[in-house]
Chain A
């Protein structure tokens, strides 16, 4: 057997990132103390470079490489083009926070870059093994990131929990993948799809495998009943890391859910639809109900993340109606729109926590936002925009995200599910309103001026305004998701 050099061009962004990560590693080693800004700058440049590469190598073609294990299609590119800015914004928000806690070591940036690489691999995976590789690269980086503040008992505990549960989830996923392999004799996602479509494989074994695959995915997405790690990890991790976990990885999780379920196991749609319906309904219900009881903002946002992921699942599950994929494009693009807008809102709201935090003070309790309107009307307004957007109020982009998903659910003739979802988003409105209440109706207890670097303040303002502006004019991002989903569906 001859060794054939794989076509590296489709993976050029990943390769660039890997090379740069190695460079950052070396620079960090020799730069010495007090030169963290160099590592930071290089990290940002790396992300900008990746953005440039992905952007300038955009073409409508879906190219596979590495023996069909890796695919570079418009779907992947479009998701990556959101991923890089999300990571970059997170780095800007975290910088001051990390510096104040002596956490801005080179390792942080390295782990973030490795995690980013993992996410890119997940997004571009067209093979079950590639998915697993990407997933583990991301997960292992995140475990370490959660524990990066090694003196914090809370963070260490969270990391332990995350690791144990995450490892179990990986095990479940692998077990499910092995079942699929056993039934179809292939790990190539497209091929698996074709073999099942042509009647290959034992249905019982496949469905058995599917259960484990869905459970594994549900763990990674953090939906009920596989959500246990989310509140503890969000709460325990340093806020900068929470911000990271709560934003970009959702895009990658969305991508693998789409690749595995829609490309690979579309023929089993009737089965996974039922599973996803249960997962989504439970997540929306429990996420919203449990969030009410939280006094810690990070925990509250964790439960809110659970319910948001439930909403996103609604989009994925409503694509195929009784074997009829007529509304697939509508549904998948809605789910993608939801994922993108969620990342935007999540970045902003954790960014606000970082903004209010100081060297010896974590502004992580809802109480800490008391009277923010007095202290800084501008940032109170930004937080208000973010909270109302998360609650799904117009004119903010969160409304159109919910709207898009709900209309895809109604299109799939599941009106009851839509009614269920809106009733629980009413419950959800309560705890977002409470944050607004604390900021606007209460008097401040903390009168320290809000100090943050200029780049962070500007970026956070842009982030908040973007949520409002995209709420007025969402068409652009909606079209973006349509293009990506169209390319995705055309690919198989």
Chain B
């Protein structure tokens, strides 16, 4: 591949942009900081477009690869590349960042420069996670991305932000530290290499595979998050500022799921098949049980957080039924969930900015004062419930089809989400938006302004577009998913 090192640019441009934003100084220059941040974020998105345009969907090989020696002492390389599985997440991540910057435009008045910088740096780090082909490089990005999020939750979060920030950090660190030991173990097993593609070809005895699988599971299950290690997410979501919640839900949760596809399945395929029952059981628990939990939430953000866990249960379910419908459906679900959950959190953010409350009980009859908002919110709520013609439907439907192919009852249990999802989302929507105006605060609400309309409008278009015509997404991933499935089917010990 000739030309520009696009992936490096996608990683380092936002990070350098973030440092520039920091350099604008204190709150006196907040306007300049916002402007620089927006330019950096948009530029960061624009440079990822050639990744999609120039992507060759007919091959499962890594593309746009870059290779430089980084730390020869441990044979660690600065090795980047994307395949059909990862390329879309780089786009999604870079796409969400400008929206997050815009969403925090007016709301964040204190330390605006640091806020914007944290998001930009995090965006770059997460692009690094999705494009790293060296295990240590991956790990380094994976852990480093905790730092900006910790700061974001802790500095700009709600009343209980300190607790949430610590819980978020320590929970996720616990998982990834065990993965570090697994990575080092693989380094010696593979004859001193951290090359992920080489690891995929490595023959490992089943017992070792199971240990490795469990170590990876610790890291990725916390990040997804899977039941029962999900408890950090509602706390983090509730306390995080809107932008933080959006990035958490839209991108950070995807890191765990992506890890399963990049590490667990290809490196420990036999253990993956051995333990698929466990993964399916955990996923279904998340889908059904967490769906019920979401039903009883009184806090909107918490409700969406639980809904995220439930939807991510779908993703892990899709991975471990080992057919292409399942995995592709799960990937579509991940991207669609990125749009929808991001939009849902932005909608709650719109309300929170005006009322400073996230309690469902404080609202009622919002449609009377905010009709434009109510319409958009309605659309995203429907998408969250999996209404056909929205992106939410495509992924869920594919996974359910795949699950039925695998086992009817698994498919059946998964399908209950269509009812549960509709129940908790629409019931919340009804209580917040419909009915008589609940109190004078609601009566004084102003409808969304142009900025908010643009943000939500763009996301609505994405959700609708992907729902009506998902082919551009599935086309890109198809070859890589088929290759992964072929790879997993072959015993490796």
Contact = CB atoms under 8 A, between A and B. Distances in A.
Contact of B178 (A393, A407, A422): A422
A411 to B, nearest CB: 6
A437 B161 CA distance: 10
Interface in B243-264: none
A478 B76 CA distance: 13
Interface string A413-446: 0010011001101100110010011001100000
Interface string A373-386: 10001000000000
Interface string B169-202: 1100110011011001101100000000000000
Contact of B180 (A422, A433, A437, A440): A422
A440 to B, nearest CB: 5
A486 interface: no
Contacts of B114: 373, 377
Interface string A344-376: 000000000000000000000000000001000
Interface in A440-492: 440-441, 474-475, 478-479, 482
A429 B170 contact: yes
A411 B181 CA distance: 11
Contacts of B184: 403, 406-407, 410, 418
B73 A478 contact: yes
B155 interface: yes
A406 B146 CA distance: 21
Contacts of A437: 154, 162, 165-166
B140 interface: yes
Nearest to B186: A410
Interface string B140-169: 110110110011001100000110011001
Of B147, B151, B181, most buried by chain A (CB within 10 Å of CB) is B181
A260 B170 CA distance: 39
A388 B173 CA distance: 12
B74 interface: yes
A404 B136 CA distance: 12
A404 to B, nearest CB: 8
A388 B147 contact: yes
B71 interface: yes
A433 B166 contact: yes
B170 A415 contact: no
B491 interface: no
Given A403-B180, A478-B73, A440 B151 contact: yes
B70 interface: yes
B26 interface: yes
Contacts of A430: 166, 170
B190 to A, nearest CB: 13
B185 A395 contact: no
B181 A418 contact: yes
A405 to B, nearest CB: 10
A400 B140 CA distance: 10
Contacts of A175: none
B139 interface: yes
Given A377-B26, A406-B180, A411-B188, A441 B155 contact: yes
Nearest to B181: A418
A403 B151 CA distance: 24
A426 B162 contact: no
Contacts of A393: 143-144, 146-147
Contact of A395 (B144, B165, B177): B144
B165 A441 contact: yes
A399 interface: yes
Nearest to B146: A393
A395 B147 CA distance: 10
A479 B73 CA distance: 7
B72 interface: yes
B162 A403 contact: no
A394 interface: yes
Contacts of A436: 150-151
Interface residues of B: mostly helix, strand, loop or mixed? helix
Interface residues of A, number: 33
A475 B155 contact: no
A371 to B, nearest CB: 11
A430 B162 CA distance: 12
A430 B151 CA distance: 14
Contacts of A395: 140, 144
Nearest to B25: A377
A50 B147 CA distance: 40
B165 A419 contact: no
A234 B73 CA distance: 35
Contacts of B150: 433, 436
A418 B182 CA distance: 10
Contacts of A419: 178, 181
Given A415-B185, A475-B72, A478-B73, A422 B177 contact: yes
Contact of B143 (A399, A415, A440, A474): A399
Nearest to A429: B173
A441 B70 contact: no
A426 B146 CA distance: 13
B183 to A, nearest CB: 9
A420 to B, nearest CB: 10
A475 B73 contact: yes
Contact of B174 (A377, A388, A406, A426): A426
A415 B184 CA distance: 9
B170 A426 contact: yes
A410 B211 CA distance: 15
B218 to A, nearest CB: 11
Contacts of B173: 426, 429
Nearest to A395: B144
Contacts of A422: 177-178, 180-181
A410 B192 CA distance: 12
A151 to B, nearest CB: 39
B140 A425 contact: no
A411 B191 CA distance: 11
A163 B173 CA distance: 40
Nearest to A440: B155
B235 to A, nearest CB: 15
A394 B138 CA distance: 11
Contact of B185 (A410, A479, A482): A410
A423 B143 contact: no
Interface string B73-94: 1100000000000000000000
Contact of B154 (A403, A440, A478): A440
A205 B329 CA distance: 70
A169 B170 CA distance: 38
Given A403-B136, A407-B74, A475-B70, A394 B144 contact: yes
A426 B143 contact: no
A406 B177 CA distance: 11
B177 A423 contact: yes
B181 A394 contact: no
B375 to A, nearest CB: 38
A399 to B, nearest CB: 7
A478 B166 contact: no
A223 B15 CA distance: 40
Contacts of B169: 429, 433
Contacts of B74: 403-404, 407, 478
B178 A441 contact: no
B187 A407 contact: yes
23 contacts: A373-B111, A377-B26, A388-B147, A393-B143, A395-B140, A395-B144, A400-B71, A403-B74, A406-B180, A407-B187, A415-B181, A419-B181, A422-B178, A422-B180, A422-B181, A426-B170, A426-B173, A429-B170, A429-B173, A430-B170, A436-B150, A475-B73, A478-B74
Interface of A: 373, 377, 388, 393-395, 399-400, 403-404, 406-407, 410-411, 415, 418-419, 422-423, 425-426, 429-430, 433, 436-437, 440-441, 474-475, 478-479, 482
Given A393-B144, A419-B178, 7 more contacts: A403-B136, A407-B187, A418-B184, A422-B178, A423-B174, A436-B150, A437-B162
A-B complex: 9 closest residue pairs judged by Cβ atoms: A394-B140, A422-B177, A478-B73, A441-B154, A410-B184, A407-B184, A394-B144, A418-B181, A475-B71
